[in-house]
Amino acid sequence: MGEHPSTVDEMITALREVGYLADRRIGSVVSLALHLQKPVLLEGPAGVGKTELAKALAAAIGARLIRLQCYEGLDESKALYEWNYKKQLLRIQADGGKETNWAGVETDIFTEEFLLTRPLLEAIRSKDPVTLLVDEVDRLEVETEALLLEVLSDFQVSIPELGTVRGTQRPPVVLTSNNMRELSEALKRRCLYLPVDYPSVQREQEIIQVRVPGIDPALAAQIARVVRSIRQLDLKKSPSISETLDWAQTLLYLGVDQLDPQIVTETLHVLLKYQRDLDVGARAFQEAAAAPPSVNTTVPS
C-alpha cells in the first residue's frame, strides 16, 4: 500500500478513481479522519451510499475491508472473539485425563491456538493494511455498543483468560448509522461525525454517468430528476442510489433514450420494493401523463 492521500483534493481524486464521487465536505472529513487516526461516523437514511464510501476508502488506500454487520443480539463472540470449544474439548480428551489440576488445564487450552478472532479483533491485529467497517451500528443494543468503546479508544481488547490484547495497527474505521436510535455520547465522542443525505440531482447524474458507462448524459439527467421527484413522495422506502443505478442499467438494456410516464411506470419496480410504494408511484405518474409534455418527466409535488 502506498501513502494515504495527504490532502483533501488528493482524497477526492483517489475516491473518484475507484468510482465514488465525493464532494468536498466528504473528502475533508475522510481525509482528516486518516490524519487524526479517528473513526468516521456516517449517519443518514438507508441507501445514500454510506457503506459504499467505506468500501471506496478501502480501495482508494489499498487496504482490505473487514466488515462487522451489526444486528440486534450481536455479542462479543461474533464481534470480538470466541474460543474454539470443540478444539479445546479435543485437546482435553487427547490429554487422557493426565492433567487433573484445573489451572493446568486452563493454561493449556486458553491460548492463541484456540482463539477465534472476529471482525473487531481481526482488524486491529492484522499485519496487512485493513479498513474496518462497522455497518449499521445503530442496530446494536446499548449494552453491546459498549464493546466498541475499548477498541475505538485504545485499539485493544481485554480477554479475561489472556489479558489485554493490543492491536498491531490503528486501521481506518468507518461506522454507519441509519439513525434508528440515538447513539451514546461516548461513542460519538470518539468519532468524526459526517451526516450523509441523498445527493443533489446534479451529483446523482454524475454518479450515473460514472457507474453506468455508455449512458447518454441527457438520459442520466432525466433519471436523476425523476428519482429526486419519486423520493419526494410519501413512500415507505425511498429509492437508494444503488437502485437508481439498477434502473439506469435497466433503461440502457431496454434501449430507452427518453423517459415518459409509461416507461417509468412499467419499470418502477426496479426502484420501489413495496406494493404500497408502487401504487403511490404509479398514481403519481398517471397524473403526470395527463400533464403538458414539458413536465412529463417529473412527479408533481
Whether 22 and 171 share a structural domain: yes
Domain end call among 174, 195, 216: 195
Q: How many domains does the chain have?
A: 3
Whether 162 and 263 share a structural domain: no
Whether 41 and 122 share a structural domain: yes
* 205 touches 228 (CB < 8 A): no
In a domain, 298, yes or no: no
pLDDT computed for residue 115 by the predictor: 87
**Largest Cα–Cα separation, the chain:** 89
> Bridge partners of 133?
67, 174
Whether 53 and 101 share a structural domain: no
Q: What's the CA dihedral at 46, 51, 53, 56 to 10 degrees?
A: -150
pLDDT tens profile 89-148: 888 787 765 655 666 677 778 888 888 889 999 999 999 999 999 999 999 988 788 878
CATH number at residue 154: 3.40.50.300
Whether 43 and 85 share a structural domain: no
Whether 125 and 261 share a structural domain: no
In a domain, 271, yes or no: yes
Whether 103 and 144 share a structural domain: no
User: What is the pTM assigned to this prediction?
Assistant: 0.85
pLDDT tens profile 32-59: 999 999 999 999 999 999 999 999 999 9
CA–CA dist 92, 279 (Å, integer) = 63
Report residue 3 as a C-alpha cell.
Answer: 501513502
Whether 191 and 263 share a structural domain: no
Domain end call among 170, 195, 220: 195
Give every CB contact of residue 29 below 8 A, 6+ residues apart in sequence.
40, 192, 194
How many CB atoms sit inside 10 A of residue 287's CB? Answer: 12
pLDDT computed for residue 295 by the predictor: 45
In a domain, 245, yes or no: yes
Low-confidence ranges of the chain (pLDDT < 70): 1-2, 96-104, 288-301
Whether 38 and 19 share a structural domain: yes
Whether 45 and 146 share a structural domain: yes
Query: Residue with C-alpha cell 444503488?
Result: 242
Whether 64 and 169 share a structural domain: yes
Report helix angle 241-254 to 201-211, nearest 10.
Answer: 60
Whether 132 and 165 share a structural domain: yes
Domain end call among 92, 116, 140: 116
The residue segments making up the domain with residue 73 are: 8-79+118-195
> Bridge partners of 135?
69
In a domain, 58, yes or no: yes
φ/ψ of 82, rounded to 5, equals -155, 165
